[in-house]
Amino acid sequence: MIKTPRVSRRHFLAGTAAAAGVAGFPGILKAQPRTIKVGVLHPVTGPIAPSGQQCRLGAKLAIDTINANGGIASMGGAKLEPIYADAQSKPDVGAAEVEKLNEAGVSAIIGPFASGIALATTQAAAKHNIPHIVDVGVVDQVVTRGLTNTFRFGPGLSKIVDSAMENLVALNNQAGKPVKTVMIVHEESAFGAGMAKTLNEKLPALGFEVLETIPHANPTRDFNNIALKVKGRNPDLLIPSNYYNEFVLLARTLRQQKIRPKAVYAILGGAASQYRFVKEFPDAAEFIMDCNHWFDPRNPVALELKKKVEAEKAFFSYEVFLNYECVRLLADALERAKSTDRAAVTHALASSGWSNHFMPYGPTKFVNGQNQGAAPVNTQILQKDIKVIFPKDFANAKPVFPAPKA
Amino acid sequence: MRTPTLRTFWAILIFALVLLPLPLLVRSEFWLTWATLALFYAYLGQAWNLLGGYGGQFSFGHALFFGTGAYCTAVLQIHVGVNAWAGFVVAAVAAGIVGAATGWLVFRYGLRGSYFALVTLAFAEVFRILANSFAFTGAGVGLLVPLMPGAWQMQFETKAGFFWLLLVLVIACLLLTWWLQNARFGARLMAVRENEDAARALGVDPFNTKLLAIIASGAIAGSAGAVYVQLFLYIDPGIAYGPSMSIEALLVPIIGGLGTVFGPVLGAFALHTIAEIGRLVFGEAPGLNLVLYGVLLVLMVLFLPNGLFGLGRFGFGLRRYFKRGGANA
Amino acid sequence: MLEFSILLPAILNGLTIGAIYALIALGLTLIYGVLHIINFAHGSLLMLALYGVFFLHSLFGIDPYLALPVVGIALFGIGYGLQRFVIGHAGHGRDENILLVTLGLSVIIENLALYLWRADTRTIETPYSFETLDFGIAFIAVPKAVAFAGALLVAALLWLLMTRTDLGRAIRALAKERQGAKLVGINVEHIFAMSFGIGCACLGVAACLLLPSFYVSPQVGHAFVLVAFTVVVLGGMGSFVGALLGGLIIGVTESLGGLFFGESLGQLGIFLIFIIVLLFRPTGLLGQKA
């Protein structure tokens, strides 16, 4: 179990003092600070708390590391001071928390994992010109509304689907086109439904026949029916797009019903890129592929971080490393801005060309808030480990495609 | 009866006069947002209170009306380009119609008590599933209302705008409930709440009375949905029709004081204060803040069975007068 | 397009999932039938029981099925205590207060779990997790078959308890006529707490039978609460055989609804049945006239 970061009385007091003082003494905030306040806003309670808590862990580890290494050098070693906020898995609470962070005097906000919440928090932050780094929030609209304070480090949904399709075609061609028919099983909220829609537009053009698209609720209590349908249709390829719980049940049910398509190719698969899943269901997980956020597996910083996270008895998931890198992205911007001033930080982020990260993105370059180099990679679960199989520049294993017959 | 009635009116007036200048005095955007959200939930609670507090019909599915209103304005705005204020009116009407339809069905078959509660919950779920399945509601993706800042589109550029809008709505509801307490319709509604058969014997038509109440309650909850959409510019089936909005709608008036004019307002501010205290004390320990919230909720029920308003009555020695005013006999 | 070949397996599958619903609803129907409480905390108590099973398995290696007596008794104790010392005192003669208190309890339990055990989804793997029984037309996972048998057994035991024991008679008397029961010397508070405790014990049993084929997280209760209410209403509040029958019907409806209308829209079937039963036969299939 991870120790939850303790409330420090100092943070608490600082927050309220700032809240009380903003009206009276706006000038004081301008003085050179010993700390730089950073809003860390995630849904750490409510239905998506599992992801939110992982996110917070990633941000916390990054802040601790940066502070341990001497803080922001260009500002006299000023330390980052995280101000944690909880969106409670609700957009309205998220937006209200932004107001609180604003009054606490944060220089930037990192978060809030879910797209629905991100739409609300980026907007709220825009009113106060707070630079807002979106950690995950893949829905395209997060960065297409012309908000100049919003920066998304990772890829958006369109980009992810495009890459997933490109890579799928490449994989399939490489293996001699074993896959012709496809079935899609997706969760029915924003990300799964949006994904299924795009897939249905793109797959036929690429020469794949979509046999059936099955949406399901969150939570779905039983996947036997869906498994039966998959069995009946017998597609070459199954594309699941769902959250962790449902993915686990689906994979488990497929195994129980002895259903093995030629390949299972998840896109942002809830569990297919999660070490927890691999550890708890090694047999059901083997050979599953995923197109998802992933780190460069050869980067020593990433591997070191992975060890650190595992030492905290947590799993090294994309929530953790994306937030870790978002904090470092901010640190790089602060280093260049030499100021806690929000406009200066926003400017520094907009002109960011940071290359010292462990994501397979290349140097950062933001156009309308979207990091242009950001892209997902393809992973496959091979011998109880998650390996990168695509693109070649980052791969540390060869794809096993189609999966061998049981 | 005349004096107490006027006293409630003066209380509403004082409430209005105290809160109106708030945005000019409170510079903190955080506290203004806090007050705005509290007013929003007070408004939603006022809608529930009409039917639940005065009519005795406990709805577990007020999200049905809230969500209908929210989707109505969002869909009209996005697909047809209807102005948000017009959307606000349509939302209220549409939610009122949904109220009429469900009310007609449910009251026709004489569902009361927990049966009524459960059936409203089921209706909200049905709507949630439907909203999840059709393209014009954005299905599971939800609807994103375009950013069009300006009072003309109900997207006020400052928090104060929303504060004042909600304050006006809350005051209108306060006046409505104040009127209700003294009007014939209110008397009929409360008679139905106390004992339907006895009410019928006195010549009250319980069916029509309850139907009117659910229409009014639905319309107000629907208009709350319209405001929500402009405030957050995003709606999805879970937010619109999920149980959390329904629970919020019933918590507020019950905690504040069921079937009282000021109950929902009191309840909303109390609950938001409690939630905020929880976040301040345990902000960095996810979960504990809500544990504190739950504990306070349970303690309040154990020791303040008549809601906060019961406390107020006791404290200010107004007990007798409110009883006669028909507040909570 | 629908092949007949998956119709039968879908029905069979609906029956097994329905049995789980019935198990969860059995406790709820008892509480509902006797105390006339809409128990919002039912889902959270199920979650608590599931965590109990999980920790017994992961910390002490106790098989979920062997954990049954421990979890059942623990849940009975929790339920008895909650009713006797908290919920029972909250009413003050108003139903809405009971509702609020169970709501408050569910918020407390759920978030305490979130704080103590984090939000992660936990699963257990047992030797029989992936075992299946081959029925010719379909594979049924062993844990689901066991749960099915368990549901039948629990319903039968409850029925025996209610009809053949003094406790059962006292509970039924109290359910029917509160004042009268008091007059003949039944300790009302004790019997109420016993009912709540037994209802919770059913949840403990349900948790043991459910976890091998499911998962646990602080939010897991939400997945079952609404369905459980539907089952209770359909079967008739307070009727065990009704709950069993209701569970199976809902399970099959959900399964076939999913088959014909898609998993997402297919959920509508559950709620439409719920609404129709409430409107036309609010006493449910086997419930008695109030």
Angle at A269 between CA A268 and CA A273, to 5 degrees: 95
* CATH code assigned to C4-280: 1.10.3470
Q: How confident is the model over B5-27, as pLDDT tens digits?
A: 788 899 999 999 999 999 998 88
Which one, of B19, B45, B23, lies nearest residue B33 by Cα? B23
For residue C46, is pLDDT > 90?
A: yes
Q: In whole angstroms, how far apart are CA A309 and each of A275, A385, B220? A: 12, 16, 50
For residue A378, is pLDDT > 90?
A: yes
In chain B, where do the E strands start and end? 143-144, 234-235
Read off the amino acid at residue A179: V
Please give, rounded to a whole number of angstroms, the shortest distance from the CA of A379 to a CA of chain C: 22
Please give, rounded to a whole number of angstroms, the shortest distance from the CA of B178 to a CA of chain C: 23
For residue B3, is pLDDT > 90?
A: no
Mean pLDDT, rounded, for C164-171: 92
For residue B104, is pLDDT > 50?
A: yes
Substitution target from A48, A185, A225 for chain C, most C beta carbons within 10 A: A225
Instruction: Name the token pair of A325.
Output: 């890198």
- The pLDDT-based confidence of A195 (bands split at 50, 70, 90) is confident
Which chain B residues have a beta carbon less than 8 Å from that of A190? 140-142, 236
Mean pLDDT, rounded, for C97-104: 87
Tell me if C207 sits within 8 A of C53, measured CB to CB. yes
Tell me if B44 sits within 8 A of B252, measured CB to CB. yes
Q: In whole angstroms, how far apart are CA B63 and each of B180, B223, B238, C87? A: 24, 12, 10, 27
Please spell the DSSP secondary structure of C145-209, one letter per residue: HHHHHHHHHHHHHHHHHHHHSHHHHHHHHHHH-HHHHHHTT--HHHHHHHHHHHHHHHHHHHHHH
For residue B4, is pLDDT > 70?
A: no
Residues whose CB is less than 8 angstroms from the CB of residue A92 and which lie 6 or more positions away in sequence, other chains included: A120, B37, B228, B231, B232
CB contact under 8 A, A6 and B284: yes
Q: Considering CB atoms only, which of A1, A245, A283 is closest to C215?
A: A245
pLDDT of residue B176: 95
For residue A61, is pLDDT > 50?
A: yes
Tell me if C34 sits within 8 A of C40, measured CB to CB. no
| Residue of B1 and C117 predicted with greater confidence | C117
Residues whose CB is less than 8 angstroms from the CB of residue C167 and which lie 6 or more positions away in sequence, other chains included: C161, C191, C194
Query: From CA A100, how far away is CA A125, in angstroms rounded?
Result: 11
pLDDT of residue C70: 96
Query: From CA B15, how far away is CA C66, in angstroms rounded?
Result: 62
Which chain A residues have a beta carbon less than 8 Å from that of C17? 221-222, 224
User: How many residues make up chain A in this entry?
Assistant: 406
pLDDT of residue A10: 36
Q: How confident is the model over C215-230, as pLDDT tens digits?
A: 999 989 988 988 898 8
| B60-85: b (≥16 Cβ within 10 Å) or e | bbbbbbbbbbbbbbbbbbeeeebebe
Angle at C194 between CA C192 and CA C200, to 5 degrees: 105
Query: From CA B291, how far away is CA B218, in angstroms rounded?
Result: 31
Which chain C residues have a beta carbon less than 8 Å from that of B254? 96-97, 99-100
- The pLDDT-based confidence of A2 (bands split at 50, 70, 90) is very low
What are residue A353's phi and psi, to 5 degrees?
Answer: -135, 50
For residue C211, is pLDDT > 80?
A: yes
Dihedral sign of CA atoms B173, B174, B179, B181 in order:
positive
Tell me if B270 sits within 8 A of B255, measured CB to CB. yes
In chain C, where do the E strands start and end? 132-134, 139-141
Q: What is the mean pLDDT of chain C?
A: 88
What are residue A371's phi and psi, to 5 degrees?
Answer: -70, 115
Q: In whole angstroms, how far apart are CA A87 and each of A44, A397, B251? A: 7, 39, 20
Which chain A residues have a beta carbon less than 8 Å from that of B243? none
Q: Considering CB atoms only, which of B247, B254, B294 is closest to C111?
A: B294
Query: From CA C126, how far away is CA C146, in angstroms rounded?
Result: 13
* B244/A contact by beta carbon, under 8 A: yes
Most confident of A122-131, B107-116, B164-173: B164-173
C-alpha torsion angle, residues A250, A256, A260, A265 (rounded to 10):
20
Substitution target from C86, C87, C96, C280 for chain B, most B beta carbons within 10 A: C96
Size of interface A-C (CB pairs under 8 A): 103
Mean pLDDT, rounded, for A387-391: 89
Mean pLDDT, rounded, for B50-78: 94
Q: How confident is the model over A162-185, as pLDDT tens digits?
A: 999 999 999 999 899 999 999 999
Instruction: Name the token pair of A330.
Output: 């901010």
For residue A24, is pLDDT > 70?
A: no
Q: Considering CB atoms only, which of C111, C219, C255 is closest to A47?
A: C219
Chain-centroid distance, C-alpha C259: 25
Is B107 strand, coil or helix? helix
CB contact under 8 A, A229 and C259: yes
CB contact under 8 A, B301 and C90: yes
Angle between helix C7-35 and C188-210 (nearest 10): 160
Q: How confident is the model over B269-311, as pLDDT tens digits?
A: 999 998 888 877 876 777 888 888 889 888 888 888 777 877 6
For residue A284, is pLDDT > 50?
A: yes
- The pLDDT-based confidence of A106 (bands split at 50, 70, 90) is very high
Q: Considering CB atoms only, which of C139, C259, C267 is closest to A256?
A: C139
Mean pLDDT, rounded, for A335-346: 95
Tell me if B18 sits within 8 A of B175, measured CB to CB. no
CB contact under 8 A, A215 and B140: yes
Q: Which of residues 259-288 of C touch A (CB under 8 A)?
A: 259, 262-264, 267
Residues whose CB is less than 8 angstroms from the CB of residue B97 and which lie 6 or more positions away in sequence, other chains included: none
For residue A1, is pLDDT > 70?
A: no
For residue A148, is pLDDT > 90?
A: yes
pLDDT of residue C3: 61
- The residue of chain C nearest to residue B120, with distances taken between CA atoms, is C275
Which one, of B293, B122, B114, lies nearest residue C95 by Cα? B114
For residue B319, is pLDDT > 60?
A: no
pLDDT of residue A31: 47
Which one, of A237, A317, A377, lies nearest residue A51 by Cα? A317
Query: From CA B160, how far away is CA B12, in angstroms rounded?
Result: 20
Residues whose CB is less than 8 angstroms from the CB of residue A406 and which lie 6 or more positions away in sequence, other chains included: A258, A260
For residue A352, is pLDDT > 80?
A: yes
| Residue of B86 and C137 predicted with greater confidence | B86
Residues whose CB is less than 8 angstroms from the CB of residue A50 and which lie 6 or more positions away in sequence, other chains included: A244, C118, C119, C120, C121, C217
- The pLDDT-based confidence of B200 (bands split at 50, 70, 90) is very high
For residue B33, is pLDDT > 90?
A: no
CB contact under 8 A, A188 and B139: yes
Which one, of B143, B124, B145, lies nearest residue B134 by Cα? B143
Which of A220-234, A314-328, A354-368, C274-288 is predicted least confidently? C274-288
Residues whose CB is less than 8 angstroms from the CB of residue C290 and which lie 6 or more positions away in sequence, other chains included: C283
For residue B30, is pLDDT > 90?
A: no
Q: How many CB atoms lie within 10 A of CB A395?
A: 18
Angle between helix B2-19 and B159-182 (nearest 10): 180
Residues forming a β-bridge with C132: C141
What are residue A286's phi and psi, to 5 degrees?
Answer: -55, 135
Q: How confident is the model over B116-158, as pLDDT tens digits?
A: 988 999 999 999 989 988 878 877 778 888 878 888 888 887 8
Instruction: Name the token pair of A374.
Output: 């950001």
Q: In whole angstroms, how far apart are CA C26 and each of C44, C72, C195, C235? A: 16, 14, 12, 10
Query: From CA B287, how far away is CA A237, in angstroms rounded?
Result: 40
Q: What is the ipTM of this complex?
A: 0.86
| Residue of B151 and C208 predicted with greater confidence | C208
Q: Considering CB atoms only, which of B37, B239, B284 is closest to A91?
A: B239
Query: From CA A208, how far away is CA A172, in angstroms rounded?
Result: 11
In B169-310, where do the E strands start and end? 234-235
Residues forming a β-bridge with A182: A210, A237
Q: Considering CB atoms only, which of C105, C218, C268 is closest to B126?
A: C268
What are residue A304's phi and psi, to 5 degrees?
Answer: -65, -40
Which of A106-115, A314-323, B105-114, B161-170 is predicted least confidently? B105-114
User: How many residues make up chain C in this entry?
Assistant: 290
Read off the amino acid at residue C58: S
Read off the amino acid at residue A301: V
Substitution target from A250, A256, A257 for chain C, most C beta carbons within 10 A: A256
Match 């905030």 to its residue by tokens: A29
Substitution target from A221, A252, A258 for chain C, most C beta carbons within 10 A: A221
For chain A, the C-alpha Rg in angstroms (whole number) is: 22
Tell me if A227 sits within 8 A of A257, measured CB to CB. yes
pLDDT of residue A406: 61
Q: How many CB atoms lie within 10 A of CB B158?
A: 14
- The residue of chain A nearest to residue B41, with distances taken between CA atoms, is A92
Q: What is the mean pLDDT of chain B?
A: 87
Terminal Cα-to-Cα distance of chain B (whole angstroms): 14
Instruction: Name the token pair of A103.
Output: 């009054």
For residue A193, is pLDDT > 90?
A: no
pLDDT of residue A33: 52
Q: Which H or E run includes B120? A: helix B113-131
Could you tell me how many helices (H) and strands (E) chain C has, helices first? 12, 2
Q: What is the mean pLDDT of chain A?
A: 87
pLDDT of residue B267: 93
Residues forming a β-bridge with A237: A182, A263
pLDDT of residue A14: 37
Which chain B residues have a beta carbon less than 8 Å from that of A20? 28
Predicted structure pTM score: 0.86
* A234/C contact by beta carbon, under 8 A: no
Angle between helix C142-164 and C240-261 (nearest 10): 150
Please give, rounded to a whole number of angstroms, the shortest distance from the CA of B15 to a CA of chain A: 24
